[in-house]
Amino acid sequence: MGELAVDKHVKFILTVEKDKDSFESIVMEHIRLNGAYWGLTTLDILGKLNAVDQDEVISWMMQCQHESGGFGGNIGHDPHVLYTLSAIQVLALFDKIDVLDVDKVSNYIAGLQNEDGSFSGDMWGEIDTRFSYIAICSLALLKHLDKINVERAVNYIVSCKNLDGGFGCTPGAESHAGQIFCCVGALAITGSLHHVDKDLLGWWLCERQVKSGGLNGRPEKLPDVCYSWWVLSSLIMIDRVHWIDKEKLIRFILDSQDKENGGISDRPGDAVDIFHTYFGVAGLSLLEYRGLKAIDPAYALPVDVVNKILIGR
Amino acid letter, 202: G
pLDDT of residue 21: 65
User: b or e along 198-214 (b: 16 or more beta carbons within 10 Å of the residue's beta carbon)?
Assistant: beebbebbbebbeeebb
pLDDT of residue 23: 61
pLDDT of residue 312: 78
In the predicted model, residues of the chain with pLDDT beneath 50 are none
Taking the C-alpha atoms of residue 133 and residue 85, their distance in angstroms, rounded to an integer, is: 10
Taking the C-alpha atoms of residue 252 and residue 214, their distance in angstroms, rounded to an integer, is: 6
Q: Are 37 and 84 in contact (CB under 8 A)?
A: no
Q: For the chain, report the end-to-end CA distance as a whole number of angstroms.
A: 37
Q: What residues have CB less than 8 Å from 305, skipping those under 6 apart?
A: 44, 92, 93, 95, 296
Backbone angles phi, psi at 259, to 5 degrees: -75, -10
pLDDT of residue 25: 65
Taking the C-alpha atoms of residue 306 and residue 178, their distance in angstroms, rounded to an integer, is: 22
Q: Are 236 and 249 in contact (CB under 8 A)?
A: no
Q: What residues have CB less than 8 Å from 33, skipping those under 6 apart?
A: 61, 64, 71, 72, 73, 74, 83, 86, 87, 90
Taking the C-alpha atoms of residue 203 and residue 211, their distance in angstroms, rounded to an integer, is: 16
Q: What residues have CB less than 8 Å from 55, skipping those under 6 apart?
A: none
pLDDT of residue 41: 98
Q: What is the dihedral of CA 268, 10, 229, 301, to 10 degrees?
A: 180
Q: HEC string of the chain?
A: CCCCCHHHHHHHHHHHHHCCCCHHHHHCHHHHHHHHHHHHHHHHHCCCHHHCCHHHHHHHHHCCECCCCCEECCCCCCECHHHHHHHHHHHHHCCCHHHCCHHHHHHHHHCCECCCCCEECCCCCCECHHHHHHHHHHHHHCCCHHHCCHHHHHHHHHHCECCCCCECCCCCCCCCHHHHHHHHHHHHHCCCHHHCCHHHHHHHHHCCECCCCCECCCCCCCCCCCHHHHHHHHHHHCCCHHHCCHHHHHHHHHHCECCCCCCEECCCCCCEEHHHHHHHHHHHHHCCCCCCCCECCCCCCEHHHHHHHHCCC
